[in-house]
Amino acid sequence: MAASTEPVNPQATAMTLWQAVEALAAQLPFSTQKVGRTLSTTLSDTHAEGGDVFRFFEGTPVRLGDGTELARIDLRIKREGPHPGFLVLELGGRCVPMAEVRQHYANLEITGVPRGRSLDEATTHTATLGWGRLSFGFTERNPDCLAHVAFDPS
């Protein structure tokens, strides 16, 4: 593969969304260093209110090789005691339709539905995997495109 002459963007990675999901699942338990290295981003403590139990970290946006953008990276790590962490990737860029999600995770169950309070509420489809639950959210605002991916290790 020839070297690109375009400037290198440190917040870009050649990984596809699906390669990123697999690479992140392989990182468990989560840490700011492992998630940051995997996604080529820096995670910073948000010092969020109510953070008595969890520390909240947010990463800078990342453009993936398939045109998907990780618009927001939200990592939560328990302050004390063992816990694998919780990670949410909010998506932008290209539209990822449900058919594409099902190509990678065919065995999904609906675990959340909108209650009619906001266009940002999502229908959530969850795969139960060996390490925990991987959920895919489709908001009412744009129900044909994947809005977020959540990693909930058990």
Distance of CA 17 to the CA centre of its chain: 9
Distances (CA, A) of 97 to 2, 38, 100, 102, 147: 32, 24, 5, 9, 10
Residue 12 has a pLDDT of 74
Question: Can you give the pLDDT at residue 74?
Answer: 96
* pLDDT tens-digit map of 119-132: 999 999 999 999 99
Residue type, 90: E
On the question of pLDDT at 9 being above 60, the answer is no
User: 68: helix, coil or strand?
Assistant: strand
Contact present, 103 and 97 (Cβ < 8 Å): no
Residue-level pLDDT at 63: 95
What is the pLDDT confidence band of residue 47, given thresholds at 50, 70 and 90?
confident
